[in-house]
Amino acid sequence: MRYWVSVYRAISDPESLTAYDKPARPAVQAGGGRLLSRDGRVVAHEAGNTQRVVLIEFDSFEQAVAAHESEAYQEALVVLSDAVERDFRIIEGID
């Protein structure tokens, strides 16, 4: 499996984050993404971050990259704009 992992370091505009979710969710689903975790409980260790963490699963790395590059998701990112500071990664899992 392949994953999108987003850790939000700071959220300066919660309303924009909520507005982003409206177009982002169907864009991710259309790209084959399955939401595994969002805003769940977090126990942080070392320099860990207890802010919002989102984990989305895809069947392939290529599918995960294509979903991020899709027109629909790029439009969602425009809505998000500078509302957050996040660490976003696409990672390959171990089969």
- The pTM of this model reads 0.89
Sketch the domain layout of the chain as residue ranges.
2-92
- Is 78 within 8 Å of 20 (Cβ atoms)? no
Task: Note the pLDDT of residue 52.
Answer: 87
Residues in the chain: 95
- pLDDT tens per residue across span 1-52: 899 999 999 999 999 999 999 999 999 999 999 999 998 888 888 877 788 8
Q: What pLDDT was estimated at residue 29?
A: 97
pLDDT, tens only, 39-87? 888 888 887 778 889 999 999 999 999 999 999 999 999 999 899 999 9
pLDDT value at residue 57: 97
Collapsed DSSP state (helix, strand, coil) of residue 71? helix
CATH of 2-92, one of 3.40.50.2300, 3.30.70.100, 3.30.365.10, 3.90.79.10: 3.30.70.100
Cβ density class 39-69: b for 16+ within 10 Å, e for less: eeeeeeeeeeeebbbbebbbeeeeebeebbe
